[in-house]
C-alpha cells in the first residue's frame, strides 16, 4: 500500500520582519478553517469597536453635547455555529475537502468556500437547513453533486471544471446561478437546467463554450427561450425587446 501526501505552497507574513515567506504544508481542514474564521472575525469586530470608540471620543471633544457613546462595548467571542455568514475563503494552504465539520454550521445562511482547491462537493450540506447562498467559485470542482439543499436560493460556482448541469434537481428554489468560466458546451445542458431550476432569474455563463461559440445576440435569445423568467443574464438586465423576441421564438418552436 502506497500513501501519497499532497502538500501545498502558501505565502505567509513574518510577524517580526513583515516580509512574505513561502511555506509548504498539508491542506487546511474545514475544522482548521472554521477556527481561523472565528479568530479573524473576532479580531475584525474588536478593531471595529475600537475605531467606533475613538471616533466617539473625537466627536465628544468637538461637541460635548453630541451624546456620542464613548464607553467600550464588550465584543463576544465568535462562534461559527451561530454565525449567518461564514467565510472560509482563500485559505492558505487551501481547503481540498468539504469534510463532516461543515455540518456544525447550523445557523449559516451564506457559506463562502471560494478560492480554495476543493475537488468534490461534500455530503454535509444537506444538514445546513438555513443555507441560502453557497459560494464555491475558483475551486477544482468537476461535478454538481450532493446539492440536497432545497431552500438554497443562490449558487456561485464560477471558475471550476463543470461540463454538465445534472445534479441540480433538488434546487427548486434556486434563483441565482453564477456558472461563468466552466466547460458547458451543449445547449441540452441549458434545457436540463430549465427543467431542474424553473425559478431562475439571474444567471452567469460567460466564459463557457456555449457563450464563446455563439454570437452574443443569438446566445442571449437562446438562453431566454429556455429560461423565460430571467431578469438578468451575464450581468446585463433583460430588456423588453429581447424578451418578446425570445418568446416569439419559443412559440414557433
Quote the pLDDT of residue 22: 46
Find, among 175, 121, 120, 110, the residue nearest to 148 by Cα: 121
State pTM to two decimals. Answer: 0.89
pLDDT tens digits, one per residue of 179-227: 999 999 999 999 999 999 999 999 999 999 999 999 999 999 999 999 9
Domain 28-39+80-213 has CATH 3.80.10.10: yes
DSSP 103-153: GG-TT-SEEE--SS---S--GGGGG-TT--EEE--SS----------TT--
pLDDT tens digits, one per residue of 80-122: 999 999 999 999 999 999 999 999 999 999 999 999 999 999 9
Q: Is the pLDDT of residue 39 over 50?
A: yes
Distance CA 125, CA 118 (A): 14
Find, among 227, 219, 224, the residue nearest to 196 by Cα: 227
* Residue 64 per-residue DSSP state: T
Amino acid at each position: 500500500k502506497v500513501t501519497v501526501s499532497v502538500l501545498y505552497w502558501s505565502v505567509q507574513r513574518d510577524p517580526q520582519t513583515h516580509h512574505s515567506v513561502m511555506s509548504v504544508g498539508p491542506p487546511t481542514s474545514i475544522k482548521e478553517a472554521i477556527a481561523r474564521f472565528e479568530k479573524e472575525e473576532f479580531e475584525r469586530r474588536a478593531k471595529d469597536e475600537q475605531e467606533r470608540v475613538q471616533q466617539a471620543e473625537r466627536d465628544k471633544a468637538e461637541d460635548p453635547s453630541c451624546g456620542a457613546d464613548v464607553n467600550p462595548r464588550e465584543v463576544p467571542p465568535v462562534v461559527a455555529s451561530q454565525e449567518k455568514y461564514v467565510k472560509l475563503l482563500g485559505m492558505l494552504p487551501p481547503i481540498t475537502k468539504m469534510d463532516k465539520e461543515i455540518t456544525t454550521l447550523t445557523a449559516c445562511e451564506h457559506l463562502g468556500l471560494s478560492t480554495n482547491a476543493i475537488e468534490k462537493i461534500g455530503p454535509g450540506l444537506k444538514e445546513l437547513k438555513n443555507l441560502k447562498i453557497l459560494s464555491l467559485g475558483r475551486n477544482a470542482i468537476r461535478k454538481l453533486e450532493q446539492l440536497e439543499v432545497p431552500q438554497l436560493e443562490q449558487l456561485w460556482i464560477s471558475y471550476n471544471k463543470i461540463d454538465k448541469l445534472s445534479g441540480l434537481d433538488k434546487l427548486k428554489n434556486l434563483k441565482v446561478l453564477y456558472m461563468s468560466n466552466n466547460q458547458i458546451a451543449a445547449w441540452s445542458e441549458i434545457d436540463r437546467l430549465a427543467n431542474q431550476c424553473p425559478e431562475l432569474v439571474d444567471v452567469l455563463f460567460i466564459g463557457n463554450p456555449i457563450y464563446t461559440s455563439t454570437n452574443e445576440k443569438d446566445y442571449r435569445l437562446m438562453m431566454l427561450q429556455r429560461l423565460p423568467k430571467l431578469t438578468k443574464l451575464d450581468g446585463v438586465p433583460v430588456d423588453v425587446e429581447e424578451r418578446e423576441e425570445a418568446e416569439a421564438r419559443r412559440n414557433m418552436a
